[in-house]
Chain A
Amino acid sequence: MSEENKRDDRSAENKPPESETSAQPPTEAGAEAPVEQTKEEVTEPPSEGDAPVPERRKETDEEKAARRKATLEAREAAKAAAALAAAEAAKGGSSASAQPAGESAQGATEAPAAAAAGGSSASEGDAPVRRKETDEEKAARRKAALEAREAAKAAAAQAAAQGGAPAGAAGVGEGAGADAPPPKPPSPSQPRLDRVAAMLRELVAEDAVEEAYINEANDHLPTLVIKNERWGQAARLLRDHAELACAYLRNVSGVDYETHMEVVYYPWNMNAREGYCIKVRTDRESPSVASVTPIWETANWNEREIYDLLGVDFPGHPDLRRIMMPDDWVGHPLRKDYVPLDPEV
Chain B
Amino acid sequence: MIRTEELLLNVGPQHPSTHGVFRIIVKLDGEVITEATPVMGYLHRGTEKLAENLNFTQIIPYTDRMDYVSAMTNNYVLCHAVEKMMGLEIPERAEFLRLIVMELQRVASHLVWWGTYLLDIGALSPFLYAFSDRERVLGLFNELCGARLTYNYMRVGGVKWDAPEGWIDRVKTFVKDMHFRLDEYHNLVSGNEIFLSRVKGIGKYDAETAISYGLSGANLRCTGVQWDLRKAEPYSLYDRFQFDVPVGKNGDCYDRYLIRIAELEQSLRILEQALEQFPGDGDTMGKVPRAIRPPAGEIYVRIESPRGEIGCHIVSKGKAEPYRLKFRRPSFVNLQILPKLLVGESMTNLVTILGGIDIVLGEVDC
Contacts and interface: CB of A to CB of B under 8 A. Distances in A.
Contacts of A309: 48-49
A23 B146 contact: yes
Contacts of B61: 17, 19
Interface of B is mostly: mixed
Contact of A218 (B291, B299, B333, B366): B299
Interface in A301-340: 301-302, 309, 322-326, 333-334
Nearest to B328: A251
A56 interface: no
A300 B44 contact: no
A297 interface: yes
25 contacts: A14-B55, A16-B58, A17-B60, A19-B61, A23-B146, A217-B87, A217-B295, A217-B297, A218-B301, A250-B302, A250-B309, A250-B328, A251-B311, A251-B313, A255-B324, A264-B298, A273-B232, A273-B233, A297-B337, A298-B214, A301-B335, A302-B333, A324-B44, A324-B365, A333-B46
A297 B41 contact: no
A215 B336 contact: no
A28 B233 CA distance: 34
A323 B41 contact: yes
A300 B324 contact: no
4 residue pairs, one from A and one from B, having the closest CB atoms: A298-B214, A253-B326, A324-B44, A251-B328
B125 interface: no
A318 to B, nearest CB: 12
B152 interface: yes
B57 interface: yes
Interface residues of B, number: 55
Nearest to B315: A255
Given A247-B212, A248-B214, A217 B85 contact: yes
B57 A16 contact: yes
B290 interface: yes
Given A250-B302, A324-B366, 8 more contacts: A31-B284, A215-B298, A247-B211, A248-B214, A264-B298, A296-B214, A297-B336, A325-B44
Interface in B242-275: none
A10 interface: yes
Contacts of B46: 333
B55 A13 contact: yes
Contacts of A296: 212, 214
Nearest to B43: A324
Contacts of A323: 40-41
A296 B297 CA distance: 27
B48 A14 contact: no
B131 interface: no
Interface string B277-298: 0000000110001110001011
Nearest to B86: A217
Contacts of A137: none
Contact of B313 (A37, A248, A253, A270): A253
B84 interface: yes
Contacts of B41: 322-326
A35 interface: yes
Contacts of B320: 10, 13-14
A250 B214 contact: yes
Contacts of A248: 211, 214
B342 interface: no
Given A35-B290, A218-B300, A301 B57 contact: no
Contacts of A325: 41, 44
Contacts of B289: 37, 39
A12 to B, nearest CB: 11
B227 interface: yes
A80 B336 CA distance: 56
A218 B235 CA distance: 13
B162 to A, nearest CB: 9
A55 interface: no
B140 to A, nearest CB: 18
A29 B285 CA distance: 12
A254 to B, nearest CB: 8
A302 B298 CA distance: 19
Given A270-B227, A273-B232, A301-B332, A17 B58 contact: yes
A324 B211 contact: no
Looking at B44, B87, B146, B366, the one whose CB has the most chain A CB atoms below 10 A away is: B44
Given A17-B57, A251-B311, A301-B333, A324 B214 contact: no
Contacts of A326: 41
Contact of A31 (B211, B213, B285, B328): B285
B359 interface: no
Nearest to B301: A218
